[in-house]
């Protein structure tokens, strides 16, 4: 298992904001919601959209590309693209919904530390 990495100060992340950081060459999204902190992959598991450029409402992040939604609490899929009908059916044959990878995070003093999962 990897070590915890110091990624930023809590002062660098306002309430309701998210930022992308690089941890061991991997793009990681760090968010602060309701005084709690979350870490997840910044690349959308659909087709790699940059979630740090999406929208954050409560713990739900929306991908800027095709508007899939994921809960940063555990990464589960809230919505898999905003496509519908035959396009949605066909696209799911090639890319079935799967969750966003989340990562362990802890606060030490004013520092945010993240440990990457597999």
Using CA atoms, how far apart are residues 33 and 13, in angstroms rounded to an integer?
10
Q: Give the residue carrying structure tokens 């044959």.
A: 93
Closest approach, Cβ 98 to ligand FES, in A, equals 12
Nearest alpha carbon to residue 36 among 65, 56, 21: 56
- Interface pattern 30-69 for ligand FES (x via CB under 6 A): --------------x-xxxx-------------x-xx-x-
Is 103 a binder of ligand FES (CB under 6 A)? no
Is 72 a binder of ligand FES (CB under 6 A)? no
* Sequence-ordered alpha helix ranges (H) in the chain: 85-94
What residues make contact with ligand FES under the rule CB under 6 A? 44, 46-49, 63, 65-66, 68, 81
């Amino acid at each position: 298992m990897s070590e915890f990495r110091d990624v930023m100060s809590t002062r660098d992340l306002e309430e309701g904001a998210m930022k992308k950081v690089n941890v061991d060459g991997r793009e990681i999204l760090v968010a602060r919601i309701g005084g709690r902190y979350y870490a997840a992959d910044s690349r959308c598991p659909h087709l790699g959209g940059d979630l740090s450029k999406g929208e954050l409402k409560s713990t739900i992040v929306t991908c800027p590309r095709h508007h899939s939604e994921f809960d940063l609490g555990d990464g589960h899929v809230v919505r898999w693209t905003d496509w519908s009908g035959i396009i949605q059916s066909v696209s799911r044959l090639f890319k079935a919904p799967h969750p966003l990878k989340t990562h362990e995070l802890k606060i030490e003093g004013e520092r945010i530390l993240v440990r990457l999962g597999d």
